[in-house]
Structure 1
């Protein structure tokens, strides 16, 4: 177990909003190794006391830990001013660290390469490096970053973080599928009509234009988070819950995803960005009017893609991956739409609504849509909803991932080939968009999304296949 965490970008939003509150939570639960030290590195010319004051403010804002826990965490902090691109400065900053450390790169992706090169000479033997998403911005850049990491560290010392994999509802997918004989036989093209993986947000940019305008919804959400969810839903049963078996099954899914041609991208994708509107009574300017946005980039804030898997289990089943910002409601879930009943007995008043299984991702719930006889009309049916609350997540997603890093457990991190396969899927779509094969639509902020859908004729054909 590693006892020292070095955070590059320690004064940034990721550290203050997510890492420090997660560390406070796991400290409160008694899960951090003791003694434990956190060394923050950043370009800010601050004293240690200034760093502690800044972190205290962030904990007050984002953490629900009590005052005593926050004080204990603050006492574990140290700080050094260092330019991550300055190899000698980085070496000097971590020189006093005793034993192996975990170096967390909470940095813009453009700084990953110089930071990794500096760390390769600075970290004590047995140390680990943690790389936040986005892991590259193209297939070639992901390969280049992997080559650099492989030259600098053994693969088992590298953790590519996707915090969705630390979310408890995502982990529930494995138990639901493989611990229940009821579901596993139905998790198949013979019974499933289509699958939706959705992450819709009422949140707009909220000060992230410097990053988001160079990424967009496809790169920011679908290339990493939603493709990881696709893997969890579609994978074959792993031989064990060992990290190697799980990650092997995930890579198999990504390799089975059919790359879209330019013509298919025109039919099976939609991109859009939000215009002016209102969300919850709050006026929201158009995306192009947000500070820091360059309209010429034509960055999308909404993306939907329809993917197919060329394997025995899922052949012919469309997977709809969708994410958008500044929408009218938050919708974050995986939905399995089952095929209609093959028995026409109850069809006299019209088609019976097919069953659906909803796996919410932002709450600990499970929702199943079924059909039952009407109480006073036994020849008719009515839809019912079975909705149950699950035990809430005790450890936040980032807390779970940090504990994995300290323990050397890769179960919830992304392997090198996973990262590259994700870009293999997304790059043809990006290329088709750059060629103008799919128009950039606009939707009002606070609406349900674009007024067009991803080629309705194609949707109908895929769902009927």
Structure 2
């Protein structure tokens, strides 16, 4: 059973890094301002020799927006955290340093590894279970490993330190509201379930296209690329939610079991030149500003052949989805932003002669950030009742009052791993993509090009 012990201390490793200042601390601030985290001690640690004033300036700057919108209780709590927070300089990979710091903190402690993955793994490798305060939670950022084998090794390292339900593998992309919106749509509507299968659905597309370029993230992104950065860690999770069987409850065990079953049935089949594509942007224009060739961006190693646009076709070999392609695509520096799942239904088996007009299949589109729902249906058009017209039913779905990292931190602090990626799931996501990565490394799949600001390479569907 999942422990519900409330965390007393949040220790952020990599506290001087970009992730902490840009996402973690603002997420925490909104959580505190909403009176959903009280009595917490915040400690930052990093390799940079920061003074207390430098750390305090970062905290107060990140808290400013939430503080301006908080009620009196929220303002008091944000002020208390600012007045009691501290920063420690340390090398997390050195024997004894991290363990010594943990021994000084009030338990239970949540240790947030806002660090490059290989540093996080080294830090965990020098710890022992006996050195961790009771109830310690370990929070790991994506990517979780770099292959199925490395993910399994990291799982073994973490499992020797704390129980599985005390390990939070962060997927900030999939917020609680988004998860529940998908599940509510799927399992609360009688008219959908009978047609949610291979007999009525032609294909499912999950697309996350951005109009942003590298934006100074070469240090991380050039070692990952679109396939690892988005498809492996985020889009496969959305796919599993759309494809899974109905869980008995929304308890984390039932829900994560259902996700795991869907992923275990999933694979990308050879030939990989047919079922996967990759491309990289060249110089172009985004929103009126010139963007350099990706290979010439600062910090990029051109020899890595890192892709900025990736697409794969996943097959789910079970009764419900046999023969239905799930197409997952994500890219950067594209002409527009598109963040949605599109379910395309099969055409009607027979349309009575005499009708004219729209003959394309019905589609259900679920938008992400903000979460929206659009359902395309064919209806008799105005004027000529024999002419069919396409109408779109739209709805806005529930939104969270927290920032994405606020939702992540709430789960960590309250001991709820619902939004965390489970160990077996983390390994399975790599198992699905490992053959594609190996094929790309052999150059079995060509690296195509597209100009920044366009829809992608010529011949790719927009």
Does the TM-score normalized on the shorter chain lie above 0.5?
Answer: yes
Query: Cα distance, 1:340 vs. partner?
Result: 1.1
Other-structure match for 1:142: 151
Partner of 1:459: none
Do residues 3 (structure 1) and 8 (structure 2) align? yes
Match of 2:356 among 337, 349, 366: 349
Alpha-carbon contact 1:212-1:220 (below 8 Å) kept: yes
1:98-109 aligned at under 5 Å gives the runs: 98-109=106-117
1:156 match: 165
1:17 equivalenced with 2:22 (yes/no): yes
Q: Conserved in 1, the CA contact under 8 Å of 2:268 and 2:313?
A: no
Task: Kindly provide the CA deviation profile for residues 11-53 of structure 1, in whole angstroms up to 9, marking residues without a partner as x.
Answer: 1111111111111111111000x31111111111122222011
Say whether residues 1:124 and 2:128 are aligned partners: no
What is the match of residue 330 of structure 1? 337
DSSP-derived class of the 1:241 partner: coil
1:252-291 aligned at under 5 Å gives the runs 252-261=261-270, 264-291=271-298
Q: CA deviation at 1:153?
A: 1.6
1:116 Cα offset (Å): 1.3
Match of 2:346? Answer: 339
Who is 1:320 aligned against?
Answer: 327
Task: Specify which structure has the higher proportion of helix.
Answer: 1
Measured after TM superposition, the shift of residue 67 of structure 1 is: 7.6
Distance 2:230 2:117 in 1: 15
1:388 aligned onto 2:395: yes
Q: Shift of residue 59 of structure 1?
A: 4.3
Determine helix, strand or coil for the equivalent of 2:96: helix
Give CA-to-partner distance per residue, 1:266-290, whole Å, 9 cap, x none: 1111100000000111110010110
Count of residue pairs brought into register by the alignment: 450
**Inter-partner Cα distance in structure 1 for 2:256 and 2:79:** 38
Distance in 2, matches of 1:303 and 1:444, equals 15
Shift of 1:78: 1.5
Instruction: Tell me which residue corresponds to 2:99.
Output: 91
Answer yes or no: is 1:303 the counterpart of 2:310.
yes
Q: Residue 184 of structure 2: SS of its match in structure 1?
A: helix
Task: Say what the alpha-carbon RMSD is for the aligned residues.
Answer: 1.8
Tell me whether 123-132 or 348-357 shows the greater mean CA deviation: 348-357
Gaps of 5+ in 1: 457-465
The residue number in structure 1 matching 2:83 is: 75
Deviations 1:189-227 (A, max 9, x none): 111110000000011111110111111111111111010
User: SS at 1:144's partner residue?
Assistant: helix
Supply the distance in 2 between the matched residues of 1:447 and 1:428 (Cα, whole angstroms).
29
Distance 1:383 1:14 in 2: 44
TM-score normalised to structure 2 length: 0.93
Unaligned runs of 5+ in 2: 1-5
Aligned position for 2:427: 420
Matched residue of 1:250: which SS?
Answer: helix
Q: Does the aligned pair in 2 maintain the 1:259–1:424 contact within 8 Å? A: no
On the 8 A contact 1:358/1:368 being kept in 2, the answer is: yes
